[in-house]
Structure 1
Amino acid sequence: MDKSYRLYLVYASLIVALVLAVVPLHSIVKLFRPDWPLLVLLYWALALPKRVSIGTAFITGFVLDVLVGTVLGVNALAYSVIIYFCSSHHLKIRNFSVLQQSLVVALFLAFNHLLVFWLSHFLTDVTFNPAYLWPVLTGAFIWPWLFWLLRRIRRQFKIH
């Protein structure tokens, strides 16, 4: 498999994550939906920090803004900031165990949700609801399985 085609698998996983982010769900289940695009971006930023970085995060966030219908640029800015911190500390984070990474991912997810809320509150009239942070817990819970799945794909197709 050609090296450029392998990189398309990274983008395909981001597209799948974007689809999972907009799949219609029941309102109660929707409260607990993890932030799939950010989780996949975090994995690829840890595994391939030179290939998946701030630009990829910005484009993914912008596409999510368009798909979800939020103010354009809110998720793009939040994803860019999160991936910047993740990429700049990727060597430290990669040395953590998967459970320790789950805690770091939970902090990244919480920071993302609070940053999106703050920007949305500044630009529109959004009020804070504590249930807004449920995806942080579900994302941290899902991280080990997503990590193992994406690592298996990366190793099987020799993506580097």
Structure 2
Amino acid sequence: MWIKSGLIPLLISYLVALILMVMPMPVFLEAWRPDWLSLVILYWVIALPHRVGIGSVLILGLVADILMGTVFGIYATALLVMAYPAIRHFQRIRNYSFTQQSVIVALLILVKRVIVYELEHILNDAVFNLAYLYPVISSAIAWPWVFLILRKYRRHYLVRE
């Protein structure tokens, strides 16, 4: 029943994104790690906005808070603020080219990262480093591939609204 409804494939994609979020990388590439969880969330809220919404994003944000060891609610808040415009304007974003979508994804991830930084700065006295924004660029570059891979994955497992 869960496979037919598409719940298991959705959960697997979230799990892979969470694993990629914390998977070790070479030191020189660490700063450029794409924001995998944000990319997966953005794909699903654009592809299935009536199925993957604010509730799913909130739960994933809380899981990310636990996984990253941050103050509970930082990632949840940032992901909610990031996902809302995508949910609100999913029909418009779907019709854009990959280049336009990449720019929108970069802006949304920039907003998310600024919110995370500001909350970390207020709560933990985090210090800003320009390398903190590198994932915005790498995520924008990765977006077309993430989109195409997840679209093929969604169609293969018949994940529908």
Verify same fold: TM over 0.5.
Answer: yes
Q: Match of 2:142, as an amino acid?
A: I
Q: Specify every segment of 5 or more residues in structure 1 that has no aligned partner in the other structure, as ranges.
A: none
CA distance in 1, matches of 2:28, 2:66: 23
Does the 8 A contact of 1:55 with 1:80 survive in 2? no
- Distance in 2 of aligned mates of 1:52 and 1:151: 15
TM-score with structure 1 length normalisation? Answer: 0.95
Could you tell me how far apart the structure 2 residues matched to 1:150 and 1:25 are?
23
One-letter code aligned to 1:17: A
Alignment of 1:104-119 (within 5 A): 104-119=104-119
Q: Deviations over 1:43-87 (max 9, x none)?
A: 000000011111111111111111111111100111011111110
For 2:124 and 2:154, the matched residues in 1 are separated by: 40
Q: How does 1:23-38 map to 2 (within 5 A)?
A: 23-38=23-38
Task: Say which SS state the counterpart of residue 70 (structure 2) adopts.
Answer: coil
Structure 2 CA distance for aligned equivalents of residues 70 and 154 of structure 1:
31
Structure 1 residue 124 displacement after superposition: 1.3
Rounded Cα–Cα distance in structure 2 between residues aligned with 1:54 and 1:157? 23
- How much does 1:27 deviate? 2.7
Instruction: Give the aligned residue type for 2:113.
Output: H
- Higher mean alpha-carbon deviation, 116-125 vs 133-142, is at 116-125
Q: What are the Cα deviations for residues 76-129 of structure 1, in whole angstroms up to 9, with x where unaligned?
A: 111011111110011111110111100100001111110110111111111111
Please state how far the C-alpha of 1:28 moved relative to its aligned partner. Answer: 2.2
Matched residue SS, 2:102:
helix
Tell me the amino acid that sits aligned with residue 128 of structure 1.
F
Q: Which amino acid aligns with 2:159?
A: I
Tell me which amino acid in the other structure corresponds to 1:96.
Y
Higher RCO, Cα 8 Å, sep 6+:
2
Distance 1:28 1:74 in 2: 26
Matched pairs, number? 159
Let me know the Cα RMSD of the aligned residues. 1.2
Q: Percent identity, aligned pairs only?
A: 45
Return the alpha-carbon distance in structure 2 between the equivalents of residues 61 and 29 of structure 1: 24
Equivalent position SS for 1:93 = helix
